[in-house]
Amino acid sequence: MIERYTRPEMGAVWSEAARWEAALRVEIAVAQAQAKRGDIPAAAAQAIATRGKVNLPRIAELEATLDHDTLAFVNAVAESIGAEGRYLHFGLTSSDVIDTALALQLRAASDLILTELDALIVVIIRRAREERDTVMAGRTHSVHAEPMTLGAKLAGWAFEAARDRERLATAADEVATGKISGPVGTYSQISPQIEREALAALKLRVDPVSTQVVQRDRHAALVAAIAITGGTLERFATEIRNLQHSEIDELREPFRAGQAGSSAMPQKRNPVKSERIAGFARLLRGYAAVAMENQALWHERDMSHSSAERIILPDATTLLHYALVSMRGIIDKMEVNRDAMRRNLDAGFGLHAASRLLTALINAGAAREAAYTLVQRASSAAREKRISLYQVAVATPEIADALSAEALTAALDERAAIANCGLLVDRLKEIERAG
């Protein structure tokens, strides 16, 4: 991933040095398990653990000749160990090391993602409670529907993010799986006990039947969970972008002093961070498709997944991590224009009460179809005459005769629509109780 969208802590996980350091951790864990069982001398395992070093220039130099990066790594590390280096990579195949090291990197990357997702959820919950009673128009098909509160909207966001966290945590736990089972995974040169001990030392799961690689359904599940989370962030971003329309102006991305919105138009204040997140989400969905393509490897393995994974796994985790940090900043400092919310709701001529007026007429004994037609006509008249639904209703004999003045006023009171929005915000305690 380009540096522009890479946070330093995630960039460190996917650096070339980190990749080979993870591979060395695997080699050391295997050597120590082998020495414990007497398969290699204890002195060799000690030398591998203490003298083994990752030398990136030497690995690159050897790879230029060998055209095999894992063998170049093994040979370079063996050189740093000395004579005992002949026991490095003893009985292993490349995928034992590479797939298990990848599991370590994916676990580290997932931990960073989950930490940022937790922080985002905390911010959304805080803002939902702050805006618990902020009344705004609820919209369907981009058209006013019924009133709601911004707190209720944000509460929905928090629960969606919490579901994303559960999916990601499950996938991250599953992808933290290694294999030390040798060529085609049959333990022909290494025992299952060594695999169990080495992976236990690395705190990784054991792939029960690995073939020569760890099965890629796990990786596909993680990237799919990442893409779904990206879709969640895109939903939040799209809503912010929509509500920042000049004609709506209910929410605004934070805009710091000195920031510019346009090179030509000084007045511009654009939702660029939300737009950026929407772009990221498109990439993440593409990465998920590639991860699923990687599942169908030939026989016990091929290498068609390798080149793709070198791109999609660092990129997907890095982009989501960056997007989570960005979205947290947006929501944390997001400006709420309550005056515009009130103005926009009032500009709807009270039509948001049409459904409650329909219910009141039915409760008063009207047939549903007749009541629906009556309220629909009254709504159209209010819109065309640019007067309130209340004014039309009291002037319509079929409505005024069916409902008392008190019943009509109650039906059209927006407070009835938002009475339970606070309960939705209260449900955020469920997320907090779940930890």
Q: Which of 140-154, 187-201, 256-270 has the lowest mean pLDDT?
A: 256-270
What's the pLDDT score for residue 127?
98
Are 145 and 255 in the same domain? yes
Task: Check whether 258 has a pLDDT greater than 90.
Answer: no
Task: Check whether 259 has a pLDDT greater than 80.
Answer: no
Are 368 and 226 in the same domain? no
Look over the chain and give the mean of its residue pLDDT values, rounded to a whole number.
Answer: 96
155: its two tokens: 């509460």
Q: What is the domain range of residue 331?
A: 3-342
What's the pLDDT score for residue 260?
77
Are 256 and 358 in the same domain? no
Q: What is the pLDDT of residues 2-13, one digit of tens each?
A: 999 999 999 999
Do the domain assignments include residue 424? no
172: its two tokens: 């991250």
What's the pLDDT score for residue 416?
86
Mean per-residue pLDDT, 286-295: 97
Q: Which residues pair with 143 in a beta bridge?
A: 140
User: Cα–Cα distance between 32 and 39 in angstroms, integer?
Assistant: 10
Mean per-residue pLDDT, 97-124: 98
What's the pLDDT score for residue 268?
74
What's the pLDDT score for residue 261?
72
- Of the CA atoms within 13 Å of residue 121, those in its CB half-sphere come to 23
Are 375 and 226 in the same domain? no
Measure CA of the first residue to CA of the last residue in the chain; give whole Å.
32
Do the domain assignments include residue 203? yes
What's the pLDDT score for residue 96?
97
Are 207 and 286 in the same domain? yes
Q: Which residues are annotated as catalytic?
A: 141, 262
Are 277 and 377 in the same domain? no
Are 263 and 335 in the same domain? yes
Q: What is the pLDDT of residues 62-89, one digit of tens each?
A: 999 999 999 999 999 999 999 999 999 9
Task: For residue 283, give the CATH number of its domain.
Answer: 1.20.200.10
Angle at 413 between CA 408 and CA 419, to 5 degrees: 130
Mean per-residue pLDDT, 254-274: 82
Q: What is the pLDDT of residues 178-237, one digit of tens each?
A: 999 999 999 999 999 999 999 999 999 999 999 999 999 999 999 999 999 999 999 999
User: Taking Cα atoms as reference points, which of 343, 339, 356 lies closest to residue 390?
Assistant: 356
Q: What is the pLDDT of residues 370-417, one digit of tens each?
A: 999 999 999 999 999 999 999 999 999 999 999 999 999 999 998 888
Are 202 and 310 in the same domain? yes
Task: For residue 396, give the CATH number of its domain.
Answer: 1.10.40
Asked whether 5 and 319 are in contact (CB, 8 A), the reply is yes
Do the domain assignments include residue 134? yes
What's the pLDDT score for residue 249?
96
Helix (H) or strand (E) holding 373: helix 368-385
Indicate the pLDDT class of residue 360, thresholds 50, 70 and 90.
very high
Task: Check whether 257 has a pLDDT greater than 80.
Answer: no
Do the domain assignments include residue 425? no
Provide the number of structural domains found in the chain.
2
What's the pLDDT score for residue 68?
95
Do the domain assignments include residue 435? no
Asked whether 180 and 96 are in contact (CB, 8 A), the reply is yes
What's the pLDDT score for residue 311?
97
Do the domain assignments include residue 429? no
Do β-strands 177-178 and 205-206 pair in parallel, antiparallel, or remain unpaired?
A: parallel
What's the pLDDT score for residue 1?
85
Are 166 and 281 in the same domain? yes
What's the pLDDT score for residue 377?
97
261: its two tokens: 């919105």
Do the domain assignments include residue 283? yes
What's the pLDDT score for residue 72?
98
User: Cα–Cα distance between 262 and 253 in angstroms, integer?
Assistant: 15
Mean per-residue pLDDT, 16-31: 98
What's the pLDDT score for residue 420?
94
CA–centroid distance for 397 within its chain: 54
What's the pLDDT score for residue 91?
95
Beta-carbon contacts of residue 100 (< 8 Å; ≥ 6 apart): 26, 178, 179, 180, 199, 202, 204, 214
Query: Is the entire prediction scored with pTM above 0.75?
Result: yes
Q: What is the pLDDT of residues 314-357, one digit of tens each?
A: 999 999 999 999 999 999 999 999 999 999 999 999 999 999 99
Are 265 and 395 in the same domain? no
Are 320 and 353 in the same domain? no
What's the pLDDT score for residue 225?
98
User: Cα–Cα distance between 429 and 407 in angstroms, integer?
Assistant: 35
Are 327 and 361 in the same domain? no
